[in-house]
Amino acid sequence: MTDAVRLELQGEIALITVNNPPVNALGHAVREGLLQAFQSAEADSQVRAVVLACEGSTFIAGADIKEFGKPPQAPSLPEVIEAIEGSTKPSVAVIHGTALGGGLEVALGCHYRIARKDAKVGLPEVKLGLLPGAGGTQRLPRLAGVEKALDMIVSGTPISAAEAVEHHIVDELFEGDLREAGLAYARRLVDEGRGPRRTGEQTQGLEGVDNEALIRAKHAEVAKRMPGLFSPLRCIAAVEAATKLPLAEGLKRERELFAECLNSPQRGALIHSFFSERQAGKINDLPADVKPRTINMAAVIGGGTMGVGIAMSFANAGVPVKLLEINDEALQRGLQRARDTYAASVKRGSLTEDTMEQRLALVEGVTDYAALAEADVVVEAVFEEMGVKQQVFEQLDAVCKPGAILASNTSSLDLDAIAAFTKRPEDVVGLHFFSPANVMRLLEVVRGEKTSNEVLATAMAIGKQLKKVSVVVGVCDGFVGNRMVFQYGREAEFLLEEGATPGQVDGALRNFGMAMGPFAMRDLSGLDIGQAIRKRQRATLPAHLDFPTVSDKLCAAGMLGQKTGAGYYRYEPGNRTPLENPELVPMLEAASQEKGIQRKALDEQYIVERCIFALVNEGAKILEEGIAQRSSDIDVIYLNGYGFPAFRGGPMFYADSVGLDTVLARVKELHARCGDWWKPAPLLEKLAAEGRTFTEWQAGQ
């Protein structure tokens, strides 16, 4: 046995316990330990049944992701599971926490499964660019049927233990002690004379339905909803094999398809995304003994677009929140917006009416600052004007209790200047939510010059409480996300002057994998936002930097995007589908003519490089300035806030995979042709010269 797996005898029952913190992943030691333990139990004539349970907070959460890409070490997981399933003594898996991926596959290899009521089971491999490679695609459909198996394997979303019982994946639910429940179940098996019931020998899930039709339908769904993704189609092919081939051949086909996924570049990118998200929560220079403050009550100032969404985020997490507006009329508008947004979720079926009322009851509207005296955190989301922020922070300083966190949701103003409006700048931090704040997962936590460690740790803890992905950023115009997107949007617009249409640019970037093109995005958020930013930047940036002018022309014509029915595109009333805007055509021609540009057709690769490498070059500057802690943090921001395709790992990982020398060569060409916006970032030049990547530089820091 290994340290990670223990075998003990409880009378006639062999109890096998896995102990491999934090999530009992199936690393080499666990695989070896499991094989030995099951073999010992099989060989021991005293043993009549086997219980498999786990220590810690969860059942096995899958293969050890850190081992992918390294040389495989025997025994492989399929071998271990084959030995478990082949055993002549009945075995029961006792599931608590989450049985995920290889963890569920091990449980499916056991002959029976019981789960604690609050447990979840799932096959999330597709989210890592993989498919269940240890029999999951062959065994799950045999129990749950092809439709449910396809749903679980292609979406990767776990299901509750109760649902798992409904679909014959789990036999019984239990409450209380794991070992007691497992041993009691095993004793019942022995008493009732029930022997092994091997999942691989079951067929009920495969019978009596038109499996081919289900597979065709899933293909159509994947083509529509997951274009460009490599592993979902292989997931379907593996399940299809289960419907057509005997177990042994189906398992072989699954292994081949798994190997294809393992070798695909998307796997590397998606696993990078997984670890980057977890890494982002760690702050390099924060002493380990810093403890976050407790948050029992929140407040939000400003009940506009952002304020309402932020208040809803607190309510969704069960935190009572006071929403403050300038007057009762504005307040009622804000509260109504929260109600309408929840009501839309109820209508869609994603929320019950009871939950809606519970959440709304947590949001208390107020107009008097005195009501904020007990708040543990206050998030300001008023107009983006320094004067207004000053008024608000001075009042907060006067009324809030000592130790309250004073946060600003500003997207571009200087947080240090805002902090200076108070006598407690160490308690001020930026909490930069993304719109719609109740939906978007990203939270940029802006660390001011004077923000204390404790406040920073609390801000990260708030992010966790609100189920956000929090990333620490430093103070600069636009922080990380918007500072980079400004470069991206500007280059997209220069492409319009060179000859492209918004539809071509958006289409090229969507084909690259972006959730939305830059022009559809701008139409959605409103062109006046960008206009205000450009106005501010024109006042401070060197005069020789040229700005594109199409957006200004649209603004001058009152075409501000969806809210005015036209912008880069035209919209029919009540319909968000972008249609060609004929009034844009003369503006494009005029913009080109004013700069003496001969309009010409642009190819897709050029469009993509021009926009994406603009992100990368700025990202490199951000990294070198220390505005982001690590290149993977920039990736997390782009994956969670800007619709960057997860299968490309984020802009910095994508640049690494293209090769920084190639990226630099393009940046230099663009610098020579398009001017100083494209001045190569010194870090990009340095790494390209050294043949290193952003990821390697990060690791070497």
Task: List the catalytic residues.
Answer: 105, 125
The residues binding ligand NAI (CB under 6 A) are: 301-307, 324-326, 330, 381-384, 388, 391-392, 409-411, 433-435, 525
Q: Select from ligand NAI, ligand 3HC, none the partner in contact with residue 302, using the beta carbon and a kind-dependent cut-off of 5 to 8 Å.
A: ligand NAI
Tally of residues, the chain: 701
Q: Does 401 bind ligand 3HC (CB under 6 A)?
A: no
Q: What is the rounded CA–CA span in Å between residue 580 and residue 453?
A: 51
In angstroms, give the least distance from the CB of 464 to ligand 3HC.
Answer: 9
Cα of first residue to Cα of last residue in the chain, in angstroms, is 39
In angstroms, give the least distance from the CB of 605 to ligand NAI.
Answer: 31
- Looking at the Cβ atoms of 104 and 636, the one nearer to ligand NAI is 636
Return the C-alpha torsion angle 660, 661, 666, 671, nearest 10: 90
Q: Does 63 bind ligand 3HC (CB under 6 A)?
A: yes
**Which amino acid would we find at residue 334?**
G
Closest by CA position to 465, among listed 290, 355, 314, 637: 314
- Looking at the Cβ atoms of 152 and 378, the one nearer to ligand NAI is 378
What are the tokens at 244?
Answer: 């057509």
Q: Exposed, middle or buried by CB within 10 Å (0-12, 13-18, 19+), for 220?
A: exposed
- Looking at the Cβ atoms of 213 and 259, the one nearer to ligand 3HC is 259
Contact map string, positions 217 to 256, toward ligand 3HC, x by CB under 6 A: ----------------------------------------
With a CB cutoff of 8 Å and minimum separation 6, the contacts of 301 are 307, 324, 378, 379, 380, 381, 382, 392, 396
**Exactly one of 14, 37, 49, 77 binds ligand 3HC (CB under 6 A); which one?**
77
Q: Select from ligand 3HC, ligand NAI, none the partner in contact with residue 65, using the beta carbon and a kind-dependent cut-off of 5 to 8 Å.
A: ligand 3HC
In angstroms, give the least distance from the CB of 28 to ligand 3HC.
Answer: 12
Stretch that binds ligand 3HC, among 20-28, 41-49, 416-424, 515-523 (CB under 6 A): 20-28
Q: What is the rounded CA–CA span in Å between residue 37 and residue 464?
A: 38
C-beta separation of 481 from 454 below 8 A: no
Please name the residue ranges forming H helices in 475-630.
481-498, 502-512, 518-525, 527-540, 550-556, 584-594, 604-625
In angstroms, give the least distance from the CB of 288 to ligand 3HC.
Answer: 13
- Looking at the Cβ atoms of 66 and 535, the one nearer to ligand 3HC is 66
Q: Exposed, middle or buried by CB within 10 Å (0-12, 13-18, 19+), for 163?
A: middle
Q: What is the rounded CA–CA span in Å between residue 364 and residue 44?
A: 65
Closest by CA position to 381, among listed 342, 431, 318, 421: 431
- Looking at the Cβ atoms of 434 and 613, the one nearer to ligand NAI is 434
Q: Is the bond preceding residue 436 a cis peptide, omega within 30 degrees? A: yes
Contact map string, positions 24 to 53, toward ligand 3HC, x by CB under 6 A: -x----------------------------
3-state secondary structure of 445: strand
Contact map string, positions 278 to 307, toward ligand 3HC, x by CB under 6 A: x-----------------------------
- Looking at the Cβ atoms of 165 and 331, the one nearer to ligand NAI is 331
Q: Select from ligand NAI, ligand 3HC, none the partner in contact with residue 372, using the beta carbon and a kind-dependent cut-off of 5 to 8 Å.
A: none
Q: Does 65 bind ligand 3HC (CB under 6 A)?
A: yes
C-beta separation of 363 from 438 below 8 A: no
* Strands 442-446, 428-433: pairing kind: antiparallel
Q: Select from ligand 3HC, ligand NAI, none the partner in contact with residue 531, using the beta carbon and a kind-dependent cut-off of 5 to 8 Å.
A: none
Q: Is the bond preceding residue 548 a cis peptide, omega within 30 degrees? A: no
Stretch that binds ligand 3HC, among 58-66, 388-396, 512-520, 663-671 (CB under 6 A): 58-66
Q: Does 101 bind ligand 3HC (CB under 6 A)?
A: yes
**Residues of this chain that bind ligand 3HC (CB under 6 A):** 22-23, 25, 58, 61-66, 77, 98, 100-102, 105, 124-125, 128, 130, 132-134, 136, 275, 278
